[in-house]
Structure formats: structure tokens, C-alpha cells
A and B are shown apart, each in its own frame.
Chain A
């Protein structure tokens, strides 16, 4: 067994030092009826080559953004990740270390997380960010819990444009956390007003921009309405690249910003692991969930970094902690930080512009097809089409032609009949003219 260093002679010698005859002597506290004498009914060990062949055979069964014209978005996006990102995150010192509990031998991870926190705060227009959450949806639920703590209120208002998976996640946390949710249905015909739903019990309003249909929303007036009622505005961004071109939620008055950070540094990877970005104003920092890295000095007065404000966290505060989160998304945060560092100010804003222009090219081309209406007045890199047939059928028919054409909104919200014919289409810097030709031709065929 290639991963186990002991020889049988080692094992015997060690048992001798312990004073045990057999390994089963060490399982003496296990009820005899529960100790297995034979291996369970699963295949036996295999060499690298055999495992590689078996898993490659599974991977080969998938169509993916690597081998098909690809326009799928709605919360995860196909972007190009520079080669040095993946090379650096595979350095064993990053890959095989853990939470930096011992700062003197963890300065690499700590400094990186301090840089991550700083860049997240810059992007979102906030004062402070934590060292990551699991993903966008769970981060959004944590933001609502935090708003409840800050305001001591127990009612959250969710915008209809919030990704249905995010809404469902908040609803799950609400059902068990004993707070109330007021949700709007997604309205395909326009961005809805939310001010009417805010009352004196409202802890926060959660609004996504660009929303799940790709529409942008000015948060300024809504932020004022929230603040006038003593509620917080939680802004959600599922496509972090949009922040290169669009005003930050902080600039528009948001109090907590949650983003899905997958687009930078992390593959789509069939849904995870991703990285949730979580940022807020200085005054709320002690109510934040998750780990925080802060600047410190050692006994020779050299600058360094440590985990800080841990008295918010579960390992100290137990049932009174701000969250139960422990392990977060460290390695994904590293990939995010390296990718964003490589881009820099010029590269990040340039990348955002390329995404926006790619989406414009796709929208213009598809708008010319009979049976297709582009619904969006505004968008960043994804937009919604109204089709002359149910979108789920169209997406399946496109897949039969080898094209991954988009997301039917009925898949995310099957109960909302108004969405039946709507398909969300995303484009990025990776979208080629050939892919667009393939989509346009296939769509024309399917709709005719």
C-alpha cells in the first residue's frame, strides 16, 4: 500500500513497545459485536494507473465547457484561469497546511488572507471582509443572520431577482432559526420596487445585482429606504467580475455585501468548492461570522498577521458564537487572490469590459433569430431570452446538438409559470465566434 510507510516488522516492534499482542487489543473498547473481522464489501486497493483509468472514464462521459459551445451561467461562470494560479495553489506549503492556529509557522496563509480581505473590501466598497465563507448562497444566509443580530429584528425581505437557490438557502436557515421571510416572486417584466415590503420589524433587504436574469439595479434609493426604517441592505453579487465595470454595492449604500467568488481562480467544477466573499462596514465587524486575520507584531516588533477577534467564533464561544463555521474556503480564497493579483486594476477592469462586450455580441446576434426576444434593458455578462417554446425543451434540444445553451429559469423556479419560456444566456472572455455561430445555428433550427 503506497501511502502507508510501516512494514510488518515496524508494526510488530511498535505493538511490543505498547505492550499489545495484536492490533485488536487496541480496539478493546469497541463492543465486540461491532468490530469487523473482514473487509467491508468494496473493491480492494488499486494502483494509480487503474484509478486514473476508472475516473477518467467517468470524466469522459461529460459534455463540458472544455469541449462544447458553452453559455451557462446563473451563479457559476466559465472564465480563463492563468496557469500560474493552479501552479501556485498546488505548492504543498499552501495545499497541505491547515487553519493558521500557530501564527509563527503560518505567516504565508495569514498574509495571503490579509491580502484577500483587503481586495474583497476594495471590490465591494466596504471597510472590512472576512477570510471567506463556503459559497454565495450560504454566505447570504449568514448575512441575514448577522443583520438580525445587528438590528435585533427578525424579518428579512428577499428581492424577486435573488437567485432562487440563494432564496431557498436563506429560507432553510430561517425555518430553523425562527425568523420570518418576506419574498417577492421573480417578475420577468421589470425590476420590482421593494420599499413597500419594509416595515419596523425588517432586519434587512436582500437584493442581487446583476439579478438572476442579468439585470442591473441601482441600490442607492433602496439603501436610503432601508436606513430610514432602521434596516440593513444586503447586496448579493453572483458574478464578481461585474465589479470591474459596475459601481460597487458599497458606493450605492449597502451595509453587507456577499459575493460568489468562483469566477476568479476557481473552476466551475460541477458546483464546488467555491468561495463566498463577505464584507461589511467597520461598525458591524464584531457581529461578522467566520475567521478574520489582523495585523500584529512579534516580540522583535516585526510586522506579522494572526487570527483575530476569535471571541466571535465557535471554538471559543460555543453556542453563543456568531456562526458555527469552522473550516472555510482557504484554498479557493488563495486561488481568487492570485488570479486577482495577476489581473491588477488594469487587467480586472479590462476583463470586465471584455465580458460585457462578449455578452453584447451574443445578445445582438441571438436577437435576430425568429422566436427570440432579449428581455434585458441592462446586463453585464448574462441576459434573459424569451423563447417561442418552453426553455427547458429548447435547452435539451440544444444539448442534443452538442451545445450548452443556457439555463432555463423553470429549472430554478419550477412553480413560477411566468418563467416557462425564459432562458438565461451567459458569455465571458472565453466565448468564441465559433461558439456563437454554433449556438445561433442550433437555436434557429430548434425554434423553427
Chain B
């Protein structure tokens, strides 16, 4: 790329770190003067400088605006990151969460002063239990993985209560990494169940693995191959007959919301990712929100606190007199800001619109699969659910890898798909278009993908290996970064000392 004297490249501005723009004494706020009272800190006053940079407001606004312009986002383009449900985030949600009655309420105010907050949580819980066909929901988990933790702890508490010390959790090999990590955090031994040739859980292998030591199976449905587990009722029977619980990972609920209720599939506990199906913003990596729906036998063991409707009003139960609840998982009672956004989204769609969400999501994914299947190898035939999976078989002998295709997509103006996941196929490419992409947008994406495969097969491997050519940055060396990690900025004089 042509170098410029400023380092800027057209609209892409070179932007140093905040610390490199520091001039001591500048500030971006105007505060009143202190009175100069004698401190009551018991002699623990800070004497050392913190080292924070000093910048004015216009510098800060420009800094973060320039940084934002180096990000790909749903607002700017098609973001087919499989299993992440990168759908449009309505701005009404943002307006609602900023209502002062919600944003300025404190979690420890007297409950009679926050009846509107409790009503909102209770209303959202009603929508969630109705959509999932489950009798109860624990609202507090902070994200999907936190919801998994809440679900497995609830299961373990229920098992402990019946004097059943089971030690194993089964996890299909196609599962998200959070599933085995969560089971390990609950001190369970993790046993992997293989997939069958159709990309579903191998029910015979499941039966063979069942024993009185199995506490639960954690199954994502639709699964991470983008397929509905069509033998799910049998899976539930196998588990329940052996006294085990059925944990569902609801990361892919967008495929079935309004059309299929997990409660009708024999599931005992399942988290929902409000930042996926219910459009709360992903925010560059959170915050999420992971309520867990629960079957009747699990409800008494749910985490604290929880909201109950009590006569004319609502009440939050913060301490458990029965001793059944497994306890508390976090500082306060849930991701209220995500609850407000998710409820705004649900009310906007309604029961009728949420069905259309699921239907259009699977329509878009199946359309992508239909348009690409002659060019990209489909390891498991469809129909798929809300995402479609390809492997790298069609790239054989081209010298081009899944990673190269991903970087080529960046040059073509698309965010890459999820790559190398799930682990059950070689060089996985997992594409989730979501329902908020128009036909024109999906068509343009498919045209691009077809073009990239044609280019790979025509012997243009060198172009791919150098990609991305047109992004704000060229390919970054992650291996070197991990070898000698630099995780914070340090002033020049300290860098010298460290060397």
C-alpha cells in the first residue's frame, strides 16, 4: 500500500495510544474545587502518581471515533459469524434502557421504590417461560457461560438433595468450549460423545456412555453444525430413564423461537443468550445476559436472588430460608440493562413476529447453503437451521485454507464466518446470516463466496496468503504476540528498565 506522510490512509486515521498523546495538566472534565478538608483516610493517602494521561474532550471524542472506524460491525455490513447471531440491534432498545427510572435505580433500594424494575423482570420472565414452554427461569446469570454454570449448579444441587453424588457430565464433541469448561468448574468429569455421520449426537454412543454416574448431558440444539437434533426425544428418554438431567445450550434458539418450545423436547435446564436471539448489543465482547429456564423439579434449587409476584406487587427474594437454592452467582440480581432491551425487542415483535424471526433466519441460512453447495462442500446435508456448515474439502490441493478464505472475505468487505469450529469437520466454515439481512444482501454475500472459491481453485493462492490487502491492517502475527506478550503500555523509561 502507498505510504502517506501522516500515516493516515484516506478515511482510516492513524491513531496513537491515549498515553502517547498525554500532556500533563490537561483534562476533559471541569470539576468544582475541593474545599481542602483534612482527609479521613487513616494515613493511607495515595502519594504516587497513577500515570493516567491528560487529554481534553475534543481529543477524547476524536480518539474513540477514530478507533470505532477501525471496527467491522453489524451496522456497517453483513456479519455472518456462526453461533453468534449477529442480527440488527434496534435503537429503540437503547432509548428504553436509558430511561432514568431504570438507569438511575440502585439495586439495594427498598423494594417498594423499585416496583417498576421488578415488574419488568417479572414480565420478561413470563415472555421467556412462555416462549420456551418451561415453568421457571433464573434471571441472574451474566452471560451464556454464566447461565451454563447456573444450570449445572442447579442440577448438582437437585442431585445432592436426593443424595445422588453423580460425577460425570457428557458433552458432544461438537459443543461450544464453554460447555466442558463449565462442567469442569462444577467439579464434574467431562466425557465426550461423538457425532454420527449425519452431524448429530450418536445416540448409540450416548446409550453406551450412560450410567448411574452421569449427572447430565449438555446438548446444543439446534447444534453447532446448524442441524436440529432430530432424535432429541429419544435422547431425553435415555437421560431421564437413567436418572440424569438434560441440559440444553440455547445459544442457537434463534432458529426455533416461536416455533419450537424446549419444554416440549424433554429439556430440564437451558440458558438463553439475550445478546443473540433477543438482539441486545454484542458491544465488542459483551455484556451478555444468560437467563436459565428450568423444569419443575429444578426450580427449588435455582440461584438467588429471584423475583416473585406477591399480591398486588413484586418482591425480590434475596435470602433463602428453605436452604434449597444453590446460592448467589454475582454482585446483584441480573443484567437489568439487557432485560430492558430484550423486552423492548420481544414486545416489538410479539408472538407473531418472533415466529417470523426464526423462519426468516432459517430461510436465509438454507438459501446460502443452496447457493453455495455446488462450490463449497457440505459435510452434512440439509435442511439446516439458522446457520450452515461447510468444510474445506473443496479447497483440497489449492494451497488455500479456511483461514485464507476468511481473510479474503475481509478484502471483499465482509466479516468472516466462524472458522475451524465446530471441531467435528475439517477446516469448518460456519455461516449464520440471521433474519435481518435482506435478500439482496445475502445474494451479494453468496456471489462473493462463489468468486472466492473460483479464485482459490484457479491457482491464486498467493493472493490469499497475503490477504487481507485492503483492510486497515494486514495480517497480524498472533504467534509472535503470544511468545513475548506485551499486555500494557509502559512509559519509555520503564521499558528501558525491563529490557
Contact = CB atoms under 8 A, between A and B. Distances in A.
B26 interface: yes
A104 interface: yes
B335 A273 contact: yes
Interface stretch (A225-233, A330-338, A433-441): A330-338
Nearest to A130: B487
A447 interface: no
A285 B184 contact: no
B471 to A, nearest CB: 4
Contact of A103 (B32, B55, B153, B478): B478
Given A102-B406, A243-B46, A17 B52 contact: no
Given A96-B74, A334-B284, A328 B473 contact: no
A34 to B, nearest CB: 4
Centre residue among A45, A93, A328 by max chain B CB count within 10 A: A93
A113 to B, nearest CB: 8
Interface in B318-353: 318-319, 326-338, 340, 343-344, 346-353
Contacts of A72: 106, 108-109
Interface string B77-118: 001010010101110101111111111111111101111110
Nearest to B190: A319
B329 A115 contact: no
Interface in A154-190: 163, 165-166, 168-169, 171-173, 175-178
A245 B45 contact: yes
B331 A166 contact: yes
A64 interface: yes
Contact of A272 (B94, B332, B410): B332
A30 B222 CA distance: 10
Interface string A1-45: 111111000110111011110010111111101111001111111
Given A134-B330, A274-B331, A331-B281, A319 B360 contact: no
B278 to A, nearest CB: 12
A378 interface: yes
Given A3-B349, A97-B284, A122-B51, A58 B334 contact: no
Contacts of B326: 172, 175-176
Main SS of chain B's interface residues? Answer: loop
19 contacts: A34-B233, A40-B131, A40-B258, A44-B350, A44-B353, A75-B332, A98-B79, A98-B84, A112-B64, A122-B51, A168-B327, A171-B327, A247-B45, A293-B487, A314-B177, A343-B28, A346-B25, A346-B54, A351-B31
A304 B473 contact: yes
A34 B264 contact: yes
Nearest to B90: A3
Contact of B331 (A6, A112, A137, A429): A137
Interface stretch (A197-205, A352-360, A365-373): A352-360
Interface string B256-273: 101111001100000001
Interface in A377-396: 377-380, 395-396
A67 B100 CA distance: 9
Contact of B436 (A5, A321, A341): A5
Given A107-B67, A271-B331, A354 B32 contact: yes
B104 A64 contact: yes
Centre residue among B142, B149, B349 by max chain A CB count within 10 A: B142
Interface residues of A, number: 212
Contact of A122 (B50, B101, B332): B50
A431 interface: no
Contacts of A347: 27-29, 31
A367 B348 CA distance: 51
Contacts of A11: 360, 363
Shortest 9 CB-CB contacts between residues of A and residues of B: A331-B283, A59-B101, A92-B75, A271-B332, A61-B116, A330-B285, A273-B287, A342-B28, A271-B107
A95 interface: yes
Contacts of B184: 319-321, 324
A104 B349 contact: no
Interface in A289-342: 291-300, 302, 304-311, 313-321, 323-332, 334, 338, 340-342
Given A168-B327, A306-B481, A134 B63 contact: no
A379 B285 contact: no
Contacts of B208: none
Contacts of A145: 185
A56 B99 contact: yes
A302 B330 CA distance: 40
